[in-house]
Structure 1
Amino acid sequence: MQLVVYILVYPLLWLISRLPFKVIYFISDGVYVLLYHVIGYRKKVVRNNLALVFPEKSEKERLLIEKKFFRHMCDIFLEMMKTMGMSKKEIQERFTVTNIELIIDLEDKGINTMLMLPHYASWEWVLSLNLQIKSKGYGIYQKIENKYFDKLVRSIRGKYNTELISTRESRKILKAANESKKLTMVGIISDQSPMVSRAKYWTEFMGVTVPAHVGGEEICKTNNFVPIYLKVKKLKRGYYQSTFEVLFDDPTIVPDYKITDAFLRETEKSIREAPEYYFWTHKRWKHKDKVPKEFQQKTTKAANS
């Protein structure tokens, strides 16, 4: 069945990846009307999330963010498909970086890095950064259930010098890379909501206490990877600008969970600057009513201090 689905879907993906961007965005506009106005895809989730984290905004203001987000979401998914047919030159023109010299300087010093980013603006085209650095690029991801699509995604990333590693194998592979003294940059999306049963740490995110993923921080501290926040701005349709921001110079001496907190604070800044580019369809705050007592106390003390 997996192969049948792949055979049916792949031609459509290939066709879209070969279309010019003008046509891509024409299609995106049509998909927006279908998803938002006809189907109402996850509209309730988005609306609830926005009301939760932006209680100070009027309903009219939140509705405007909502509509802008859905338009952006449609663009993002079409851009993901387009990646398959983009040249290295084209993707670098559309996803630029303001301070690549920061990474080059760290590489010259033999320092490995962990690129931490949220589901914001464009996380798909981040892979183009590997075309500008010397480090071996890894991306931690959730393995796709359909093995044929999983292989396709790995192949696309490989075109831009990025090797995808699943969350399950990431610690072993990155430890080996570190021990081999190979220059390494690993990318991880760190704003997801972990399972409550596996949550080690709870903290405020956009004013609401939630469980936080700490896997990126743990890898940084274990392997001495310098944690870097990648701030991405959407300049206009199909064009993004990124900036590297070092969170800590020496992760091995940073108190537990401070790296995670620093990442979330930077993510909040990005969201507040342009909230329409965050991925609001995720149920990021779904565990807000399950905060353990010890973290409720810490949150209350922090709020009162």
Structure 2
Amino acid sequence: MFNILYALAWIITLLPLRVLYILSDIGYPIVYYLIRYRRAVVRRNLEKSFPDKTKKELRKTERRFYRFFCDLFIETIYEINISEAEIKRRFAFVNIEGLLKEHAKGKGILVMTAHYGNWEWGVNFPLFVSEKINACQIYKELSNKKFDKFIYNLRSKFGGINVEKRNLLRTMIKLQSDADKGIYFMISDQTPAAQKIHHWTQFLHQDTPALTGTEQLARKFDYAVFYAETKCIKRGYYQCEMIPLEMESAKTAEFEITEKYMKMLQKTIEAKPQYWLWSHKRWKYTRS
């Protein structure tokens, strides 16, 4: 079944993206009104995150999210046949000079990203640097081997290195003696496992358990930390700015980097909330 679906997706993605968006437009009312995919989760998350918004405003954001969610699905499979020139035009990295300057000093870099905008297209970062670098994308291996291979190939298509999260520390230690210690892209807005919750913060008006792994690694190895702020310019076009978050991680207090990240992410989400992944059960744990 997977091979059939992949062959179908491969053929479909030979079409221009503007044509494929027609499928997204058709899929939106099906996903939102008929299937109602995780609509209760999305609605609850929005209502708790924006208590000052009216019901009308919340429903408008909800519908915009589902429209974008359908676009995101189409854009992800479109990556099968997208060219380097097109993805570089559609997902542009800006203000990366500061990051490259730290990298040139021989310093390791951690980039804190999020499920905002099209995070899958962000794997094209190596196309924006003139030299070959260890640009590592951290991922979790999927249980379905064929689907895992499919995602693995998509994420390494433009020169990025996939590092399974269980091998992250081993990889970082291995590169410690190299001039290129690596640039690691860490999706940091997920919910930690219940037994691994070490820090709670106020995020979008709610008590929220925060992932602290990125901070722990940054402080341990004294890596520079950047925040990848993605903006959706228009349909199918994104811009990602590398914003310095902390250059001297070893000198920071515990949870300081995590708090900075959560505040920056909240600001990004509040500006255009429809582009964050609201269908994720982000607040399934409480302090109690």
Q: Normalising TM by the smaller chain, what interval? A: over 0.9
Contact 1:137 1:184 in 2 (8 A): yes
**TM-score, normalised to structure 2's length?**
0.95
Query: Which structure is higher in helix share?
Result: 1
The one of 71, 78, 83 aligned to 2:79: 83
1: CA distance between counterparts of 2:9 and 2:58?
A: 33
2: CA distance between counterparts of 1:266 and 1:16?
A: 37
Name the structure 2 match of 1:37. Answer: 33
Deviations 1:117-148 (A, max 9, x none): 11111111111112123431111111111112
What displacement does 1:110 show? 2.0
Contact 1:229 1:263 in 2 (8 A): yes
What displacement does 1:15 show? 2.2
* Structure 2 counterpart SS, 1:284: coil
Q: Name structure 2 gaps, 5 residues minimum.
A: none
2: CA distance between counterparts of 1:22 and 1:152?
A: 24
* Structure 2 counterpart SS, 1:97: strand
Deviations 1:136-162 (A, max 9, x none): 111111111111222222222222111
* Number of aligned positions between the proteins: 286
* Structure 2 counterpart SS, 1:121: coil
Query: CA-atom RMSD, angstroms?
Result: 1.3
Contact 2:123 2:156 in 1 (8 A): no
Name the structure 2 match of 1:174. Answer: 172
2: CA distance between counterparts of 1:12 and 1:224?
A: 46
* Structure 2 counterpart SS, 1:38: helix
The AA in structure 2 aligned to 1:56 is: D
Name the structure 2 match of 1:123. Answer: 119
What displacement does 1:291 show? 0.8
Name the structure 1 match of 2:257. Answer: 259
* Structure 1 counterpart SS, 2:278: coil
The one of 179, 189, 198 aligned to 1:191: 189
The question of 1:152 aligning with 2:168 is answered no
**TM-score, normalised to structure 1's length?**
0.90
2: CA distance between counterparts of 1:183 and 1:132?
A: 18
Name the structure 2 match of 1:296. Answer: none
Name the structure 1 match of 2:106. Answer: 110
What displacement does 1:22 show? 1.4
Q: Name structure 1 gaps, 5 residues minimum.
A: 293-305
Name the structure 1 match of 2:241. Answer: 243
Contact 1:16 1:81 in 2 (8 A): no
Identity of matched residues, %: 32
Name the structure 1 match of 2:15. Answer: 19
Deviations 1:202-239 (A, max 9, x none): 11111211211111111212222211100000011110
* Structure 1 counterpart SS, 2:180: coil
Deviations 1:140-193 (A, max 9, x none): 111111112222222222221111111111111122112333241110110011
What displacement does 1:6 show? 2.3
* Structure 1 counterpart SS, 2:111: strand
2: CA distance between counterparts of 1:125 and 1:178?
A: 28
1: CA distance between counterparts of 2:34 and 2:149?
A: 33
